[in-house]
A and B are shown apart, each in its own frame.
Chain A
Amino acid sequence: MFDEMTVGGQVRPPYAPVAAWLDETGLPLLDLRAKEAEALFRRVGITFAVYGEGGDPERLIPFDLVPRVIGAAEWAQLAAGIEQRARALNAFLYDVYHRREILRAGRVPSRLVTSNPAFLPEMIGFDPPGRVYSHVVGIDLVRTAEDHFAVLEDNCRTPSGVSYMLENREIMMRLFPDLFAEGRVRPVDGYPNDLRRTLEEVAPPACRQDPEVAVLTPGPFNSAYYEHSYLADLMGAALVEARDLFVRDGRVWRRTTRGPRVVDVIYRRIDDDFLDPLVFRPDSMLGVPGLMNAYLSGGVTICSAPGAGVADDKAIYTYVPEMIDFYLGEKPILANVPTWKCSDPDDLAHVLAHLPELVVKEVDGSGGYGMLVGPRATKQEVDAYRKRVEADPEGFIAQPTLDLSTAPTLVGGEIEGRHVDLRPYCLVGKEIRLTPGGLTRVALRKGSLVVNSSQGGGVKDTWVLSEDAR
């Protein structure tokens, strides 16, 4: 098992400052600071809701004080890989909604795309501004060895969590100013501005002045509402719900006390299904009637584009290396995790024979729900899951149980290694912008590999060093 801080009893160079700081500060003071951090988070109001658990609907996500550190050279490699992936995914989306070259060439099975519910017929032949479909690509990475990162999954729709990336840094700078005194940690606070520029760059053809950006939220009862309002505030954009918007004369307007105000770019944090009741869900009262017509006729830009989800399906994921080769003519910089597709009879046989060793996921699942972690499951759980896979093989993929890296974490007054992953946020507009680092999620339960906040995960500040120590 690879530990991010210590290898063979030696502290790895990127972690030298953190290791020294841990020694100097001592555990009692760290514990005290951890409580201060929690109080700060609660005061700021960063909370999230957990579905189906009842209890306090405004819960805090646990924050761990010990930063996760990535060296400058390590990051350079990661960044190149992330950008490459974001480019390929967008090229794929453009292709499947136009000439379908990659499908015709037989490099990706056409059925996986065309019969995918996330593939929207309404988008066929439409050119989104800048040909960008996924404007915020969240790529979940895990590390299994000093020199090996792998992509666990892609998020092309509306990846969340970026507010934690920003707030984690704010809190750390406030609690431990000395830690940052050397100035070697690359800042992350440029993200909201980068997001705003990205969104402005994809203004629709009908926009004639400075683009007006709005963040579209399902409302205060959504678990990520805090993030929506936070990003809107920091971008200087309006925070709107669907009922604040209406379509008139091919454009989208928001209702204000000064009368209607035009909206050019919508950064939506709602699902495709709830964008426009005239197109997607006639039974639903949610959404903005006529929004899709305004979008498809160039009156507004929706980010991410409706139908972008076809690229982050877990069955499509296995073909991303193909996309990189097909569209960019490059070798993938970041590896995929080996994946068995249960739709394939040979793979299915292998998966069913090795269920207790594998991690099995629903192809359209997310948030760590509905998955089987073989080695940690009881025999009954494995058997129940087996029945589900047998009933609908197409709905599942399986991966080996990865030996995720651990990072030092303050747990119960002690520093112990806990498994971590990393989600960087890559912005795609006319150019690609990548904030150094991202969100590190940590599985706080000993030995657990599930880092999702909904399943007992926490978060850490993520440092990218501006230069490596010699």
Chain B
Amino acid sequence: MRLRLFPTTFDTQLVSRWRVSVNGEAVHPNLTDGCAVPEGVWSGDGPTEMLEIVAEGDVERSDDAGVVRGLKERTPTELFLRPTDLTTTNEAIRGLAEGARRPDRLDTLHTLAAAVRDAVDYRPETTDMATSAAEALAQKAGVCQDHAHVFCAAARHLGLPARYVAGYYLPGEDAGLSQTHGWAEGYAEGLGWVGFDVANRTCPTRDHVRVAIGLDASRAALISGAVAAPATGSSEERMTASVAISSQQQQ
């Protein structure tokens, strides 16, 4: 199992304590990729009924208007112009993108984020992990992953590097429980990578914890695993996830 559940520290995100375990066994990252995302692996012995993956720790976020600075990345930004299966453009996406084109790049990205959200209604369970940007736009509905995919596909069409971010989000003061969250980052020359939480019509705030990034959601997956099927009988997989975040005011 490949785990990319390790948020990293950058200028406006300080990770002071973080621990990941699988069935109580600690997993430490053993490498960091070219986008500064750490990963670790865990493998099990023999048949397993259930895996419990726990990631917990303290992260201190400060306001940055979504601008991510201070990451030690080695990946060229232009890599994020590359389309993937989930972010292939079609006429509709290109049309959406062209409508958002502005003289200023940052302006373009903001306009695009709003346009994507207007075009794709937030409706849970209308799409799944394998829904592409084009499909989500065609049915005018989706979830945060689909918003981010449409945003990435359109931005790339305009020649602006864009990527998918997987992380955590604390939706409100009292909300204790949510799913993991996905948003996008676009690259604005001179400013750097800027986050756009398209689904929530905002740039990432102090309530967003940035964990992993990739060309699309499948490549930014926090957890990916393979199950060896037993020689006889069948195997089934089911995954449930819950995220509990509590916010602490700084003293």
A–B touch (CB < 8 A): the answer is: yes
A122 cross-chain contacts in B, Cβ below 8 A: 33-34
Q: Are A125 and B225 in contact (CB under 8 A)?
A: no
List residues 217-236 of chain B with CB under 8 A from any CB of chain A.
Answer: 218, 221, 224-226
Q: A296 in the interface, Cβ–Cβ < 8 Å?
A: yes
A125 cross-chain contacts in B, Cβ below 8 A: 33-34, 74
Give, as a whole number of angstroms, the nearest-CB distance from A314 to chain B: 19
List residues 185-239 of chain B with CB under 8 A from any CB of chain A.
Answer: 215, 218, 221, 224-226
Q: B250 in the interface, Cβ–Cβ < 8 Å?
A: no
Contact with B along A267-304 (1 / 0, CB 8 A): 00000000001110010010001100100110000000
Apart from A125-B33, A296-B33: 19 A-B pairs, beta carbons within 8 A: A110-B76, A110-B78, A114-B79, A114-B82, A121-B33, A121-B34, A124-B34, A246-B43, A247-B41, A278-B2, A282-B221, A289-B1, A289-B225, A290-B2, A290-B41, A293-B2, A293-B41, A297-B30, A297-B31
CA distance A297 to B39 in the complex (A): 10
A279 cross-chain contacts in B, Cβ below 8 A: 2
Q: A387 in the interface, Cβ–Cβ < 8 Å?
A: no
Q: B81 in the interface, Cβ–Cβ < 8 Å?
A: yes
Interface of A is mostly: loop
Q: Are B78 and A111 in contact (CB under 8 A)?
A: yes
Contact with B along A95-128 (1 / 0, CB 8 A): 0000010000000001100110000011011000
Q: Are A124 and B43 in contact (CB under 8 A)?
A: no
Q: Determine which of A100, A111, A247, A296 lies in contact with B43 in the assembled complex, contact meaning CB atoms within 8 Å.
A: A247
Contact with B along A120-139 (1 / 0, CB 8 A): 01101100000000000000
Q: Are B226 and A289 in contact (CB under 8 A)?
A: yes
What is the number of contacts between chain A and chain B, taking CB atoms within 8 Å? 61
B225 cross-chain contacts in A, Cβ below 8 A: 278, 289
CA distance A293 to B31 in the complex (A): 8
Interface residues of A, CB < 8 Å — how many?
Answer: 23
Q: Which residue of B lies closest to A243 (CB)?
A: B228
Q: Determine which of B1, B41, B75, B218 lies in contact with A121 in the assembled complex, contact meaning CB atoms within 8 Å.
A: B75
Contact with A along B2-43 (1 / 0, CB 8 A): 100000000000000000000000000011011100010101
Q: A248 in the interface, Cβ–Cβ < 8 Å?
A: yes
Q: Are B79 and A250 in contact (CB under 8 A)?
A: no
CA distance A282 to B129 in the complex (A): 12
Q: Are A293 and B74 in contact (CB under 8 A)?
A: no
Q: Which of B's residues lie within 8 Å of A, judged by CB?
A: 1-2, 30-31, 33-35, 39, 41, 43, 74-76, 78-79, 81-82, 215, 218, 221, 224-226
Q: Are A100 and B81 in contact (CB under 8 A)?
A: no
**6 pairs, CB–CB < 8 Å, chain A vs chain B:** A115-B78, A124-B34, A246-B43, A278-B226, A282-B221, A289-B2
Task: Decide yes or no: A250 and B30 within 8 Å by CB, A110-B78, A121-B75 being known contacts.
Answer: yes
Q: Which of A's residues lie within 8 Å of B, judged by CB?
A: 100, 110-111, 114-115, 121-122, 124-125, 246-248, 250, 277-279, 282, 285, 289-290, 293, 296-297
B41 cross-chain contacts in A, Cβ below 8 A: 247, 250, 290, 293
Give, as a whole number of angstroms, the nearest-CB distance from B130 to chain A: 9
Q: Which residue of A lies closest to B221 (CB)?
A: A282
Give, as a whole number of angstroms, the nearest-CB distance from B135 to chain A: 17
CA distance A121 to B43 in the complex (A): 24
Give, as a whole number of angstroms, the nearest-CB distance from B219 to chain A: 8
B82 cross-chain contacts in A, Cβ below 8 A: 114-115
Find the residue from B31, B78, B81, B224 having the highest chain A CB count within 10 A.
B31
CA distance A290 to B227 in the complex (A): 12
B2 cross-chain contacts in A, Cβ below 8 A: 278-279, 289-290, 293
Q: Are A282 and B218 in contact (CB under 8 A)?
A: yes
Q: Determine which of B30, B34, B76 lies in contact with A114 in the assembled complex, contact meaning CB atoms within 8 Å.
A: B76
A290 cross-chain contacts in B, Cβ below 8 A: 2, 41, 43
Give, as a whole number of angstroms, the nearest-CB distance from A10 to chain B: 57
Give, as a whole number of angstroms, the nearest-CB distance from B108 to chain A: 21
CA distance A290 to B31 in the complex (A): 12
CA distance A111 to B77 in the complex (A): 12
CA distance A125 to B79 in the complex (A): 14
CA distance A180 to B245 in the complex (A): 79
CA distance A289 to B2 in the complex (A): 9
Give, as a whole number of angstroms, the nearest-CB distance from B216 to chain A: 11
A248 cross-chain contacts in B, Cβ below 8 A: 43
Find the residue from A111, A122, A290 having the highest chain B CB count within 10 A.
A290
